[in-house]
Amino acid sequence: MIKRLICLAVFLIGYVSAFAQDVEMADTMRSSGKIYVVVGTIAIVFIGLVIYLFTIDRRLTRLEKYKD
């Protein structure tokens, strides 16, 4: 289920960006020096790391319950 949703999301993003390439519209990610793209990238990296940390935290909690 999750895999299918991810596939769908990837296709949708690809579809939208394929059309966005033709005509340059005034969307925010492209405006003034494109700093928003950098912000987005770093935010994605950070969110990914945070999710990773939370997963480790949850796994540990489970292990600790199992031990006691």
Binding site for other proteins (CB under 8 A): 35, 38-39, 42-43, 46-47, 50, 53-54, 56-57, 60-61, 63-64, 67
As measured in angstroms, the least distance from the Cβ of 9 to other proteins is: 21
Return the number of the residue (10 or 60) whose C-beta is nearest other proteins.
60
Tell me the closest approach of the beta carbon of residue 65 to other proteins, in angstroms.
Answer: 11
d(CA 3, CA 9) in angstroms, rounded, equals: 10
